[in-house]
Amino acid sequence: MKKLSWFIFSLLLATSCLDEPDCFQLHNDVLGVTFRVIGTGQGDSVLLKNFIKEGENNIITSFNAKLNYFEKEGVLIFDGENDKKNFLAFGYTVKNQFISEDCGSSFELSDLRILDHDFDSVRIVNSTPTKGVGTNIEIYRCPETDTLTLNFNQLFARSDGIIISSPRSSFISHPFESITLDYSDIVFSGRSATVKLPVNLNENESAYVFKTDVSQDTLVVRYSLVTEQRYKACGVQTFVTDLRVREHTFDSINFGLDALDEPVRSLLDPQVANLRIFDCPKTNLLQVAFKKGTATQVVNIKSITADHAPGNLIKPPYSGSSVVLPVDLASDVSTFYIQYEDDTIDTLSIRYTRTELTPFNACENPVITNIAEVTDIGKINVLPTRTTLQFPTETNVEITVD
């Protein structure tokens, strides 16, 4: 009986080890390609035309390509920006292995090698093609050394007129009519929160003029130039270091910080923000809401004028349930004249306190608080809990319309 138990145990042990292989994704026929930049080795974003779908442009950092296991060589053609074409020719070994009666056989690809290419540099990081996960080939391009990166930010903070709280910033895009370099070439136009601008590699200084439909700002940066061969594949290049801001007309400018919290004073590729441009919060914006009874009311307004500001403060014809109006920062009183579509006029006259408090050190405009009507008019109501102007705005005054 003891002997029989031994044999039964052994048979169970033997049969328990029999299992079937997984038939899913039998072939390792996927080539993983990643784009990188020489020097930092960081991933690169590349615009390719007709790559994923005919007629489409796609910005990609990596992709997978299915290899033909009936062949032993392949070529990838890259149709990039400005009709620039590149190619990558590669070879590989194909073997077949029977897997199981259920699965059949699989094609096993290995020994991936580069045959030819016209990129700056290419290297094999894994010579065995995968089943869909991983990188086999890294394609490198030389770094661009002349690109200054700026991003635009809006500052926010809350205040009760006594203290500042919740300071923060967020990216804000500006509709640039033009950004010019050295007062001549337009190097950017369009709406963006981040702009990449060329620097003048022939000088140690570049000057930029930023134009929007409502403002114009200038920025002049200085830097040092280093000409040397850092990467064999790229030859001799001129690098920009020791970036400084010589002058500007923006509210505030800081250097971008790298992973070590050090200012990014060199122009890097892939680009990281060298300079962060900040807009101060607008502390003088009064939000007026229109009501009928207790419900909000949409009104049609022809014009809003003020004693302290020239022209119409709105773009007529205006239709809406609220307006945002700038109070006079040079006075403790502001008066607005709201002319409706039927030519009736409401006069909104408010007084307030200009504190010595500013939301940020770099921002001059004071916090406006203690808003009140100059003369109590029944249809105008200053909300008692909203007597300090905030940015973003919130309703401070309600006007009841007929």
Partner 1 sequence: MAISGFSQSSDSVRADSVVKHSYIPTGIRIGTDAISLFKTQFQDNFSGWEVNADVDFYRYYLALDYGSWARTFKSDSGNYSNDGTYWRVGVDVNFLLKDLDRNMFFLGARYGKANFSENLNVVAYNDVTDAYENLEYAHSGINAHWFELTTGLRVKIWRMIWMGYTARFKFGLKHDNTENIIPSDVPGYGRTNKDSYWGFNYQIFIRIPVRKQPPVIVRDKK
Residues that bind partner 1 (CB under 8 A): 3, 6-7, 10-11, 13-14, 17, 21, 66, 68-71, 94-105, 107-108
What is the nearest approach in angstroms of partner 1 to the Cβ of residue 63? Answer: 18
Distances (CA, A) of 137 to 30, 33, 69, 92, 351: 11, 5, 18, 13, 68
Gap between the Cα atoms of 237 and 252, Å rounded: 32
Rank residues 61 and 105 by Cβ distance to partner 1 and give the closer one: 105
What is the nearest approach in angstroms of partner 1 to the Cβ of residue 21? Answer: 6
Q: Residues 351, 372: contact at Cβ < 8 Å? A: yes
Q: Residues 361, 347: contact at Cβ < 8 Å? A: no
Q: Are strands 137-141 and 235-248 parallel, antiparallel or unpaired?
A: unpaired
What is the nearest approach in angstroms of partner 1 to the Cβ of residue 28? Answer: 12
Sheet with 30-37: list strands edge to edge.
Answer: 62-66, 30-37, 137-141, 121-124
In a 3-state reduction of DSSP, which class is residue 83? helix
Rank residues 103 and 114 by Cβ distance to partner 1 and give the closer one: 103
What is the nearest approach in angstroms of partner 1 to the Cβ of residue 124? Answer: 19
In three-state form (DSSP H/G/I as H, E/B as E, the rest C), the secondary structure along 296-356 is ECCEEEEEEEECCCCCCCCCCCEEECEEEEECCCCCCEEEEEEEECCCCEEEEEEEEEECC
Rank residues 12 and 214 by Cβ distance to partner 1 and give the closer one: 12
What is the nearest approach in angstroms of partner 1 to the Cβ of residue 33? Answer: 19
Rank residues 6 and 171 by Cβ distance to partner 1 and give the closer one: 6
Residue linked to tokens 């199981």:
100
In a 3-state reduction of DSSP, which class is residue 16? helix
Q: Residues 397, 288: contact at Cβ < 8 Å? A: yes
What is the nearest approach in angstroms of partner 1 to the Cβ of residue 11? Answer: 8
DSSP letter string over 155-197?
Answer: EEEEE-SS-EEEEEEEE--EEEEEEEETTTEEEEEEEESEEEE
Gap between the Cα atoms of 328 and 52, Å rounded: 56
What is the nearest approach in angstroms of partner 1 to the Cβ of residue 178? Answer: 50
What is the nearest approach in angstroms of partner 1 to the Cβ of residue 34? Answer: 24
Gap between the Cα atoms of 142 and 119, Å rounded: 9
For residue 213, which of 261, 187, 177, 189 has the smallest C-alpha distance? 177
Rank residues 112 and 139 by Cβ distance to partner 1 and give the closer one: 112
Rank residues 102 and 228 by Cβ distance to partner 1 and give the closer one: 102
Rank residues 58 and 105 by Cβ distance to partner 1 and give the closer one: 105
What is the nearest approach in angstroms of partner 1 to the Cβ of residue 129? Answer: 15
Rank residues 105 and 241 by Cβ distance to partner 1 and give the closer one: 105
Q: Residues 295, 398: contact at Cβ < 8 Å? A: no
Q: In whole angstroms, what separates CA 378 from the centre of its chain?
A: 48
For residue 109, which of 52, 65, 60, 78 has the smallest C-alpha distance? 65
What is the nearest approach in angstroms of partner 1 to the Cβ of residue 238? Answer: 46
Rank residues 10 and 224 by Cβ distance to partner 1 and give the closer one: 10
How many CB atoms within 10 Å of residue 195?
21
Rank residues 17 and 260 by Cβ distance to partner 1 and give the closer one: 17
